Amino acid sequence: MKTLKNLLEDESGATAIEYGLIAALVSVAIITILGTLGDNLNTTFTTVSDSLGGASGGSSGGTSGGTTSGG
C-alpha cells in the first residue's frame, strides 16, 4: 500500500512530460518563424536580383565581353 501511495505522489514523470511539451511548442514556433523568414528572404533576394538584372540591360549571367567576337 505504501508503494502505491508513493507512486501517486511522485510528480517527476509529470514534470518531464511538461518540459517535453514546452520543448515541442518552442520547436514548432521556431520552425514557423524560420519558414516565414525564409519566404520573406526569398522574395527580397528575387526583387533585388530582378532590379539588378534590369539595371544592367538584361540578365546575361555576368559573362558579357568580347568572348564571341572573332580575333
pLDDT tens digits, one per residue of 23-68? 999 999 999 999 999 889 999 999 999 999 866 555 555 555 555 5
pLDDT at 57: 54
pLDDT at 14: 82
Residue type, 26: V
Residue type, 14: A
33's CB contacts (< 8 A; 6+ apart) are none
pLDDT at 30: 96
The answer to whether 59 and 53 are in contact (CB under 8 A) is yes
pLDDT at 67: 57
pLDDT at 16: 86
What distance in Å separates the CA atoms of residue 63 and residue 47, rounded to the nearest whole number?
Answer: 21
